[in-house]
Amino acid sequence: MLKRLRRKFILIVMVLVGLVLVAVLGSTYLSSYYSFHGMLDVSLSRALGYDETSRPSVGIGQDASSDPSIEGESETGHMVVFWVDVDSEGALLHSNGASVTISTSSLETVLSEALTAEDDTGSVDSLHLSWRRAETTTGWRVAIADTSGIDSTLRSMALQDLVIISLSMLALFGITWYLSKWALGPVEKSWDQQRRFVADASHELKTPLSVILANSQILEEHAGDLPSDDQRWLKSTQDEAERMKGLVNDLLELARTDENTLGDKGAFQAIDIDLSSLVENVALEFDAVAFERGCEIESDVDEGIHVTGDPAEIGRLVKTLTENACKYAAANSTVMMTLHRDGAHARLVVNNQGSPIDPEDLPHVFDRFYRSDKSRTRETGEETGGYGLGLAIAKGIAEAHKGTITCTSTEDAGTSFIVTL
């Protein structure tokens, strides 16, 4: 839980800061983009209105500020533009080609596209040339501008922004990793204290419970000498002591699953388990239980599915889900257990038909001590519910084995618990 909380904290901080960085640098890039292309549009539009004698004498793409013969170009921020007049057949009539240089092949490529395009403006990206055309009395005037400087500048800006974002996010990750550990320190300390308290309290409760149960058994051996009312109180005391023993054992199991680790240093073993055989054996084991509750168990299990984990704990997980399914299955229905491969994972589904879990209760079925009024309440004198720890333990076991457990419940499909290991 703490690891997930830490990851969520880091993710939220990085996403928020990342969005701010992208917004700031993106707005700067877009501002430059529209500024450059606005200047390009103005320059092309002006060129379409010039005649041959009014165009300054420069080479295409030349920086206006470096040539004193360009009248007002550097002040107005216009680009150097080559223009050419062609007739309706595409023959050249006039141009400022005597003073502006452009290769023949480039000119042919641009004119070919400009005279056949549906729009009056466009570009040849491979040549870094943009064009705009206007209809004249004799045909068309096509203005052409070299955008290699603009493209290079924008490309450099984009690359620089990506480097800034990457380095910033890398530095931010390191900072938030440290801050998350510092911020969650009190939470982790409190969680450890709570976990130790549950484990210690459960251990301490086992001794008096053992004494109570032992004394009850001794009294039960001499219960024949007691009045019937006294025998009833003795039986009630013994039953409740047994229930409390089960609760204490569940609390101890929760303390183990909270360790959430496998192997030598963890709470659980990490050995090979034949999950297919385990599921089949559990289905056979609960066949009689299902019969007593008026339902039956069927299984659909792929052979040879193995997982790594603690056999006793995985067995408890499967038994808990199977017992839960039998307990709440409708009469004359079928509890279906399926185990299939799902890529590199094993997917176990335990389904029963019965009253569906209310949608408002569904997100809480794995919460500790949570019992919905309809499906999980333990009524007096009936073994129809527990303390709300069985599914919480099942979730802890699944997560301790690096797996997941989810629940779906509808009127038509029934209630399904899905475990992926």
Question: Which whole number is the average pLDDT over 174-184?
Answer: 86
Between residues 410 and 183, which one has the greater pLDDT? Answer: 410
Q: Compute the radius of gyration of the chain from its Cα atoms.
A: 39
pLDDT of residue 281: 94
Count CA atoms closer than 13 A to 249's CA, side-chain side: 10
pLDDT of residue 69: 29
**250 and 393 in contact (C-beta within 8 Å)?**
yes
Encoding tokens for residue 163?
């480097």
**352 and 290 in contact (C-beta within 8 Å)?**
no
- CA–CA separation, 398 and 402 (whole Å): 7
Q: How confident is the model at residue 77 (pLDDT cuts 50, 70, 90)?
A: low
pLDDT of 279 above 70: yes
Between residues 384 and 392, which one has the greater pLDDT? Answer: 392
Is CATH 3.30.565.10 what the domain over 271-420 is classified as, yes or no?
yes
**Least reliable range by pLDDT among 2-11, 141-150, 329-338, 399-408:** 2-11
pLDDT of residue 67: 36
pLDDT of residue 182: 85
pLDDT of residue 280: 95
Encoding tokens for residue 261?
């680790």
| Sign of torsion over alpha carbons 33, 36, 42, 47 | negative
Q: How confident is the model at residue 380 (pLDDT cuts 50, 70, 90)?
A: very low
CATH topology of domain 189-257: Helix Hairpins (1.10.287)
Question: Which DSSP category does 276 fall into?
Answer: H
Between residues 369 and 417, which one has the greater pLDDT? Answer: 417
> Between 148-183 and 2-48, two packed helices, what is the crossing angle to 10 degrees?
160
88-112 per-position pLDDT tens digit? 777 888 777 655 677 888 888 988 8
- CA–CA separation, 216 and 245 (whole Å): 14
Q: How far separated are the first and last CA of the chain, in Å rounded?
A: 18
Question: Which whole number is the average pLDDT over 23-38?
Answer: 92
pLDDT of residue 179: 86
Task: Report the candidate in 307, 298, 300, 304 with the shortest Cα–Cα distance to residue 325.
Answer: 298
295-336 per-position pLDDT tens digit? 999 999 999 999 999 899 899 999 999 999 998 899 999 999
Q: How confident is the model at residue 214 (pLDDT cuts 50, 70, 90)?
A: confident
Q: Which amino acid is present at 373?
A: D
pLDDT of 254 above 90: no
Between residues 65 and 114, which one has the greater pLDDT? Answer: 114
- CA–CA separation, 400 and 266 (whole Å): 9
pLDDT of 41 above 80: yes
- CA–CA separation, 165 and 85 (whole Å): 47
Q: How confident is the model at residue 65 (pLDDT cuts 50, 70, 90)?
A: very low
pLDDT of 170 above 90: yes
- CA–CA separation, 166 and 163 (whole Å): 5
Residue positions counted in the chain: 421
Reported as type and span, the H/E element at residue 279 is helix 275-285
Question: Which whole number is the average pLDDT over 32-49?
Answer: 88
pLDDT of 117 above 60: yes
- SS3 assignment for 44-80: HHHHHCCCCCCCCCCCCCCCHHHCCCCCCHHHHCCCC
Q: In terms of DSSP bridges, do strands 296-301 and 334-342 run parallel, antiparallel, or are they unpaired?
A: parallel
Encoding tokens for residue 4?
């997930």
pLDDT of 20 above 90: yes
Question: Which whole number is the average pLDDT over 337-355?
Answer: 93
pLDDT of residue 334: 93
Strand order, beta sheet including 129-135 = 92-95, 81-87, 139-146, 129-135, 121-124
Question: Which DSSP category does 401 fall into?
Answer: T
**Least reliable range by pLDDT among 1-15, 209-223, 334-348:** 209-223
**Least reliable range by pLDDT among 85-99, 146-160, 364-378:** 364-378
**Cross-strand bridge partners of residue 340:** 347
Q: What is the DSSP string of 19-36?
A: HHHHHHHHHHHHHHHHHH
Question: Which whole number is the average pLDDT over 193-206?
Answer: 73
pLDDT of residue 53: 43
Mean pLDDT across the chain, nearest whole number?
Answer: 81
- Report the percent of the chain where pLDDT is more than 90: 32
Q: How confident is the model at residue 382 (pLDDT cuts 50, 70, 90)?
A: very low
pLDDT of residue 405: 94
Q: What is the DSSP string of 302-365?
A: -TT-EEEE-HHHHHHHHHHHHHHHHHTPPTT-EEEEEEEEETTEEEEEEEE-SSPPPTTTGGGT
- CA–CA separation, 327 and 309 (whole Å): 27
Encoding tokens for residue 400?
């301790």
pLDDT of residue 72: 32
Question: Which whole number is the average pLDDT over 61-65?
Answer: 38
pLDDT of 284 above 90: yes
Q: How confident is the model at residue 371 (pLDDT cuts 50, 70, 90)?
A: low
User: Does residue 296 sit in helix, strand or coil?
Assistant: strand
| Sign of torsion over alpha carbons 37, 38, 43, 45 | positive
pLDDT of residue 260: 59
pLDDT of residue 100: 65
Encoding tokens for residue 407?
């629940």
- CA–CA separation, 132 and 43 (whole Å): 10
User: Residue 154 phi/psi, 5° resolution?
Assistant: -65, -35
